[in-house]
């Protein structure tokens, strides 16, 4: 049975910051995980404009019962510079989605890739030794790209309309995983995993991130989009007979990880 939330003078406050913020689904889930484990904490959505990020983070650092922050778009890249320590994932991704207070600074990590690949694994697909195509190299996409290679993909092709962002990520990935990352496109043929890390599909009329008419039933298709529950890419892939993971799979896999990091049950490992 779900436990009631406790809010008093000892409650620890965990903001989740973004612009916009109305689309986030995690505050209630993360807060409930904390309550169910007897932890007095609460995750609250905070709408922070990009131009206000620096001042807001300075204020957050002064809030003594704020031991951690969850970061969403568009702040994942900019928050890097406010971290005194970064994990190898965050450095290679060029983004953070969680910041944990330690001593006088923040430790930054990028867990989106872990949630994405754990969600895929829960559906029975293993990326090790297989080629992958990833569309989208923003904050979440960068973390997902790192994790795909960390879990042993034979190669990773990356596509993004922002070529400079794509190429910068390829350079960082090849520094960590030599000759594994390259430029890709929207043609999914030849890839065992076809992954979307863009918001395409959230709005009615969005273009599909890949050429779904070229998909084949032996491919696994994954998406970050959580609304609608079955994004257009996933619907098209299922119509082709592909195994799939919608964004909810990533969300569910990542929720416990984020909550445990915020609570201090699990520690961020620095290399």
Question: Which tokens in the block code for residue 24?
Answer: 């986030």
Q: Is 97 helix (H, G, I), strand (E, B) or coil?
A: coil
76 is catalytic: yes
- For residues 14 and 66, the answer to whether their CB atoms sit within 8 Å is yes
DSSP 189-216: TT-SEEEE-S-TTSSTTPPPSS-GGG--
Between CA 198 and CA 139 the distance in angstroms is 10
- For residues 267 and 138, the answer to whether their CB atoms sit within 8 Å is no
For residue 17, the surrounding DSSP H or E stretch is strand 12-18
Beta bridge partners of 194: 133, 221
For residue 69, the surrounding DSSP H or E stretch is strand 68-71
Neighbours of 179 (CB within 10 A): 7
- For residues 15 and 60, the answer to whether their CB atoms sit within 8 Å is yes
Q: Which listed residue (25, 76, 180, 240) is catalytic?
A: 76
- List residues with catalytic annotation: 76
């Amino acid at each position: 049975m779900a436990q009631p939330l406790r809010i008093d003078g000892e409650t620890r406050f965990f903001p989740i910051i973004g612009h916009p913020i109305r689309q986030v689904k995690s505050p209630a889930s993360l807060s409930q995980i904390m309550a169910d484990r007897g932890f007095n904490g609460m995750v609250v959505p905070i709408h922070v404009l990009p131009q206000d990020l620096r001042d807001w983070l300075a204020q957050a650092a002064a809030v003594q019962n704020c031991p951690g922050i969850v970061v969403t778009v568009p702040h994942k890249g900019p928050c890097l510079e406010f971290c005194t320590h970064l994990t190898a994932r965050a450095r290679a991704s060029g983004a953070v989605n969680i910041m944990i207070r330690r001593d006088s600074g923040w430790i930054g990590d990028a867990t989106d890739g872990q949630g994405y690949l754990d969600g895929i694994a829960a559906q029975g697909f293993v990326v090790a030794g297989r080629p992958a195509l990833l569309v989208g190299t923003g904050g979440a996409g960068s973390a997902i790209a790192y994790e795909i290679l960390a879990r042993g993909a034979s190669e990773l092709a990356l596509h993004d309309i922002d070529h400079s962002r794509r190429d910068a990520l390829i350079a960082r990935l090849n520094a960590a995983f030599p000759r594994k990352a390259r430029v890709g496109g929207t043609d999914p043929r030849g890839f065992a995993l076809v992954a979307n890390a863009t918001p395409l599909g959230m709005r009615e009329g969005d273009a599909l991130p890949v050429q779904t008419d070229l998909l084949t039933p032996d491919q696994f298709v994954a998406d970050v989009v959580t609304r609608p529950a079955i994004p257009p890419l996933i619907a098209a892939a299922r119509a082709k007979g592909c195994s799939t993971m919608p964004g909810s799979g990533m969300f569910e896999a990542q929720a416990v990880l984020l909550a445990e990091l915020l609570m201090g049950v699990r520690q961020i490992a620095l290399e």
